[in-house]
Structure 1
């Protein structure tokens, strides 16, 4: 998607707002605040930065490059998400504010990998991006539901922990669903013809005198 200077400036501002909002939510010290910050840094900031900059992450060929392969984006985001929400790790982060910047950077970096993988998958085949988003939506819903119905596992008030789980389950899932529908629409759109119908390419050398090449102006 091509964007002009005004649109890019707006996207950069929105990305900055999402980061500042995440910092504020981290400072609240609540479980639901941390969860909302995670969602902002992984679902809002990365796609805004990629859209504003036009930047596309590249990976080595042995990892499936040059674009980020779908499995790497999915693995990176879910590895960070699951690790941070392990009860012991979550308790350590909640009790030690000095770990918060590392927590935020982990979500932002894994989010960049994930959304770069979505973009790369969409270039190869729009249905690949749909599949990646649907799979991530399911993973987000499963972990969010597990947190919602947990009791006495996480540090914080039970109602606040449940709220954090619902945010991951419903709000996070809704973001993936909306983006999935966007790519479904793109996948169903008929492709533009690359060349006029009937064009033939000669693989044996220049045409013989008097030969007619279909689809090419004489």
Structure 2
């Protein structure tokens, strides 16, 4: 198992250093920054809506969940994770290292998505839209039938898992590396599916569904860990683009093994923490119910 060798870990440390990536990225990017208007413009728009919605709620002295310090901090950290993943520096180097690309995906799926969900960013954004255009807010609230279906935890779990696995199919992954707008669509789907998944779990757990939420997150840990293990134990590189980028099959395979370990261990740890948090809330809720009955 190559990832147990000391030389593998020396390579792993080097692979994640921005200076190493810069040696290759400079040939094409010349910068650690990715200032794609298709990415920056929507981020700026949603940031403006979020901040405008917060100001609107504050002026009306609405001290709801979106205005709590912990909620606001979560939203800010989610925005920082988005910035790191899409603008600086991970996106500039992701095409040269699968490990860096996997770290970028992790920031979107288990970084930005849950943080923005716990930050309840939908409340200020909806408030801003309603204040600016009540008709638009009304139109966005029309598809209630589909919304009820998507609010089912099993549906959110399935969609979230499907997005992760489908985008890592070699043919589709390679296509996303070659076509910029498909690459953006890939990242957008990771973010939306992750955000919706955690939003549904939070909503469901508030209705005393902590146990099923914990089971859902731990199940996600297992299937993403399986995908990470497939990358780690693969006998050959799965993506031809990274063979060319790394310069050899051996280097590409070590890069892929590091990517698999990132998905298997740190990403799994994030899901484990989330699952244990829901499980702890479930136990607290059960203890509280027993005390009330006694």
Q: What displacement does 1:179 show?
A: 1.0
Aligned to 2:265, the other structure's residue is in SS state helix
Alpha-carbon distance in structure 1 between the residues aligned to 2:165 and 2:293 = 51
Aligned residue among 214, 223, 232 for 1:130: 214
Alpha-carbon distance in structure 1 between the residues aligned to 2:157 and 2:92 = 28
What is the count of residue pairs matched by the alignment?
A: 196
Q: What displacement does 1:191 show?
A: 5.0
Match status 1:94 vs 2:177: yes
Aligned residue among 21, 26, 48 for 2:115: 48
1:147 paired residue number: 231
Q: What displacement does 1:163 show?
A: 1.0
Structure 2, unaligned runs of 5 or more: 1-63, 124-140, 243-251
1:183-209 deviation per Cα after TM superposition (whole angstroms, max 9, x unaligned):
11111114546xx879xxxxxxxxxxx
Alpha-carbon distance in structure 1 between the residues aligned to 2:71 and 2:269 = 25
Alpha-carbon distance in structure 1 between the residues aligned to 2:150 and 2:174 = 36
TM-score, length-normalised on structure 1?
0.78
Q: What displacement does 1:154 show?
A: 1.8
Aligned to 1:121, the other structure's residue is in SS state helix
Q: What displacement does 1:52 show?
A: 2.1
Note the 1:4-153 alignment, pairs <5 A.
4-23=67-86, 24-28=89-93, 29=95, 30-53=97-120, 55=122, 60=144, 65=148, 68-124=151-207, 125-150=209-234, 151-153=236-238
Bigger share in helix: 2
Alpha-carbon distance in structure 2 between the residues aligned to 1:183 and 1:97 = 37
1:36-59 deviation per Cα after TM superposition (whole angstroms, max 9, x unaligned):
111111112122222223648x98
Q: What displacement does 1:26 show?
A: 2.2
Q: Is contact 1:67-1:120 (8 Å) kept?
A: no
Alpha-carbon distance in structure 1 between the residues aligned to 2:288 and 2:121 = 23
TM-score, length-normalised on structure 2?
0.59
